[in-house]
A = this chain, B = another copy of it.
Amino acid sequence: MIATRFTERFGLAQPIALAPMAHVAGTELASAVSNAGALGLVGGGYAGTQGPERRAADELARCPPGRCGIGFITWALALDPAQLARALALRPACVFLSFGDPRPFAAEIHAAGVPLVCQIQDLVQLEAALAAGAAVVVAQGTEAGGHGARRATLPLVPEVADRLRERAPDTLLLAAGGIADGRGLAAALLLGADGAVIGTRFWAAREALTADAAIARGLAASGDETVRTAAIDALRGVPWPAEYSFRVLRNDLTAAWAGREAEAERQRGTLAAAYRAARERDDYAVAAAVAGEAIGLCSERESAATLVARIGAEAADLLRRGATLDFRKR
C-alpha cells in the first residue's frame, strides 16, 4: 500500500482523489470512491448560478458522513457565496476550489475546521492559494478534461513542488491532468506530488452521472480526439474568466469553432438555447462530452472500486519494479 502525506492526513488507502466534476460527480460516484479508500468529492459546479443544477449540498448530504469533499467553481461560488455555508454545515472532508480567487472564502472554511484544497493552473495562482492558507494545492495541467489553462502537468508539478518545499513545506501537493492509470499515479508521486486527482477515468465510471452517449463517444476516442477551446463557453454564454478554456471531445461544434475564439466572443451567448437543447437530447455532436487527453487510456466502463484498486495496485507494482533500475523487459 502506498503511503503519502495525503493518505495519512485524509485517512485514505490510496493517494487518489476524485476530481469534483460538475454534472458527473454526484453522491453515487463520490461515495463509491470514498468507500474504495480514496477521496471522493461531489462536484458543486456553478453553485446553481448558471441555471438549474443538481444541488451539490443535497448530493453531499447523502454521502458517507465526513468522508467526501465538495468542489466549487470559485468564480461561480462568488455569485452566491451562501452555498458555501450550506456545504460546510455538512462537514465535508474538504472544500476544493478551482478557477478563481480562493481568498474571499478562506476564513469561513478555516473557521469550520475543514481543509481547503486549491486547484491552480500556474505559479501566479499558487500565490493566491498560499495566501488563502491552502492545506492542499492541486497542480492541474492543460491535458485535463473540462476547464483549465495552459501549463502541462509533467513540468508544472515539480516546479510547484520546489516552491512548496521552500515556502510552505506542510502544504500537500496533488497532480491533476492526464492521469488515468497506475503509470500516471506512479509518475505523479516521483514528480513530487503526494497523490493524484483523477477526472476523466472516473467520468467514465459506472457510478458517474455522465450520459451513456457521452461515455460511448469517449471510450471509442484516442487522446488525440480532444481539444481545448474557449469558444464553447463564449457561444453558450457562460461567463468564464478569459484565462480558462474548456477541453472536450472533438465534435461538430469544435470542428466549426475551435481556433475562432475571437469570433465566438463577438457572438457571445448566441448558441445558448441550441446548446441547452442539444444537451437535453444527448446530442454530443453539439453538446460537449467533457474529457481530457487521458481518455485515450480508457476503454471500458468500470466501477469506481475496480478503478481505485487497480490504479493503486498498478502504481505500487511499477514503483517496486522500478527500484531494480532494470527496465529492459517491457
Contact = CB atoms under 8 A, between A and B. Distances in A.
A297 B158 contact: yes
Given A142-B152, A187-B187, A325 B330 contact: no
A310 to B, nearest CB: 14
Interface string A224-267: 10010000000000000000000000000000000101000000
B323 A159 contact: no
Interface residues of A, number: 63
A323 B320 contact: yes
B330 A192 contact: yes
Contacts of A323: 319-320, 322-323
Interface in A307-321: 316, 318-320
Given A190-B190, A192-B183, A323-B322, A151 B223 contact: yes
A1 interface: yes
A1 B188 CA distance: 22
Interface stretch (A28-36, A45-53, A104-112, A288-296): A288-296
A269 to B, nearest CB: 22
A322 B155 CA distance: 19
A135 to B, nearest CB: 15
Contact of A159 (B161, B297, B328): B297
Contact of A183 (B158, B184, B322, B330): B158
Interface of A: 1-5, 8, 15, 122-124, 141-143, 150-156, 158-159, 161-162, 165, 169, 177-181, 183-184, 186-192, 194, 222-224, 227, 259, 261, 292-294, 296-297, 316, 318-320, 322-323, 325-328, 330
B191 A183 contact: yes
Given A320-B325, A322-B189, A156 B123 contact: no
A293 B154 CA distance: 9
